[in-house]
Amino acid sequence: MTRFDLGKQFDVITCLFSAIGYVKTLQRLRRTIGCMARHLKPGGVLIVEPWLTPEKFKPGLIGALHVDQPRLKISRMNRTVVKGRLSFIDFHYLIGTPERIEYSTEYHTLGLFTHNEYLKAFQDSELDVIYDSKGLMGRGLYIGLKSLA
């Protein structure tokens, strides 16, 4: 997300489901928003759904979800850790069917950015920014508008 050139511009660019967190650092956040802004047509809109802020991310959280159907059992457990401005989430899955039981893991590392850091990244990219505190899933939504001029 930090460096790409598609050779054209768009009316709308979206970055949803907290994918922006995968840029990990503030410098890469700024570069990413700038890169997306360069791909906007005048009057275009950039919509970014943020990852959790440092204040909202809960280190030490243990989560679990379960599916309990007659022929399918799934358990997903996760734990969260914070180191500096990075959040780490370890996911562990057990998937059971009559044929077998499988185990798999996923490890995610996402950057933690403040509300003001998101705003500044949009403003530094010459976008007027509107913040919707609710957003699509309760994490907020940043809406950047590129000037017509």
**What CATH number is given to the structural domain containing 44?**
3.40.50.150
49 shares its domain with 117: yes
- The pLDDT, as a whole number, for residue 21 is 98
75 shares its domain with 94: yes
Residue 3 lies in a domain: no
68 shares its domain with 105: yes
What is the number of structural domains in the chain?
2
DSSP secondary structure code for residue 52 in this structure: P
CA proximity to 37, closest of 136, 149, 128: 128
CA proximity to 28, closest of 56, 51, 62, 10: 51
Q: Does residue 136 surpass a pLDDT of 90?
A: yes
- The pLDDT, as a whole number, for residue 149 is 79
- The pLDDT, as a whole number, for residue 23 is 98
74 shares its domain with 86: yes
Q: What is the rounded average pLDDT of the residues 21-38?
A: 98
Residue 25 lies in a domain: yes
- The pLDDT, as a whole number, for residue 99 is 98
40's tokens: 């906007």
Residue 1 lies in a domain: no
Q: Does residue 146 surpass a pLDDT of 90?
A: yes
- The pLDDT, as a whole number, for residue 129 is 98
23 shares its domain with 93: no
14 shares its domain with 43: yes
140's tokens: 């907020």
Q: Which domain holds residue 84?
A: 62-110
**What CATH number is given to the structural domain containing 82?**
2.20.130.10
Q: Does residue 28 surpass a pLDDT of 90?
A: yes
19's tokens: 């994918």
- The pLDDT, as a whole number, for residue 58 is 95
In whole angstroms, what is the distance from residue 45 CA to residue 132 CA?
A: 14
pLDDT in tens, 41-51: 999 999 999 99
Residue 24 lies in a domain: yes
pLDDT in tens, 69-89: 999 999 999 999 999 999 999
Q: What pTM value is reported for the model?
A: 0.91
Residue 77 lies in a domain: yes
Residue 2 lies in a domain: no
Q: What is the rounded average pLDDT of the residues 125-143?
A: 97
